[in-house]
Structure 1
Amino acid sequence: MKPLSDEKIIDSWSKNTAPWTNAVRGGEIESRKLVTDQAIVNAVRGRSPRTGIDIGCGEGWLIRALDGIEMIGVDAVPGLVDMANAAGGGDFRVMSYEELGAGRLNASVDVAICNFSLIGKESVEGLLRAAPSLLNHGGALIVQTLHPHLACGDAPYQDGWREGSWSGFSTDFTDAPPWYFRTLETWVRLFSESGLRLVEMREPLHPATGKPVSVIFIGERK
Structure 2
Amino acid sequence: MKINLLSDEKIVESWDKNAPLWVIAVRDGQIESRRQITDQAILDTVLSRSPRSVLDMGCGEGWLARELAVANIHVIGIDVVPKLVEVAQQAGGGDFRVMSYEEIAAGKLGVSVDVVVCNFAFFGKESVEGVFSVARSLLNQHGSFIVQTLHPVMVCGDLPYRDGWREGSWAGFSSEFTDPAPWYFRTIESWTKLFVDGGFRLLEIREPLHPKTGKPASVIFVAEPG
Q: TM-score, normalised by structure 2?
A: 0.96
- What CA distance in whole angstroms lies between the structure 2 residues aligned with 1:217 and 1:2? 28
Q: Deviations over 1:131-165 (max 9, x none)?
A: 00000111011000000000101111000000000
Give 5+ residue unaligned stretches, structure 2: none
> What amino acid maps onto 2:21 in structure 1?
P
Query: Which of 21, 31, 34 is the matching residue for 1:32?
Result: 34
Give 1:104's aligned residue.
Answer: 108
Give the superposition deviation at 1:171. Answer: 1.4
- Judge conservation of contact 2:152–2:187 (CA < 8 Å) in 1: yes
- What CA distance in whole angstroms lies between the structure 2 residues aligned with 1:52 and 1:104? 17
Give 2:161's aligned residue.
Answer: 157
Tell me whether 1:197 sits opposite 2:201 in the alignment: yes
How many residue pairs get matched? 222
Q: Find the residue that maps to 1:136 and give its secondary structure.
A: strand
Give the superposition deviation at 1:83. Answer: 1.1
- Judge conservation of contact 2:75–2:93 (CA < 8 Å) in 1: no
Tell me whether 1:75 sits opposite 2:79 in the alignment: yes
Give 2:7's aligned residue.
Answer: 5
- Judge conservation of contact 1:53–1:73 (CA < 8 Å) in 2: yes
Give 5+ residue unaligned stretches, structure 1: none
- What CA distance in whole angstroms lies between the structure 2 residues aligned with 1:130 and 1:91? 21
Tell me whether 1:19 sits opposite 2:24 in the alignment: no
- What CA distance in whole angstroms lies between the structure 1 residues aligned with 2:225 and 2:188? 20
Query: Which of 42, 45, 48 is the matching residue for 1:43?
Result: 45
Query: Which of 51, 54, 57 is the matching residue for 2:56?
Result: 54
Give 1:185's aligned residue.
Answer: 189
- What CA distance in whole angstroms lies between the structure 1 residues aligned with 2:96 and 2:186? 29
Taking every aligned residue pair, what percent have the same amino acid on both sides? 63
Q: TM-score, normalised by structure 1?
A: 0.98
- What CA distance in whole angstroms lies between the structure 1 residues aligned with 2:39 and 2:195? 23
Structure 1 runs (4+) deviating above 3 angstroms are none
Q: CA RMSD in A?
A: 1.1
- What CA distance in whole angstroms lies between the structure 1 residues aligned with 2:34 and 2:111? 30
Q: Deviations over 1:49-72 (max 9, x none)?
A: 001100000000000011211000
Q: Find the residue that maps to 1:110 and give its secondary structure.
A: strand
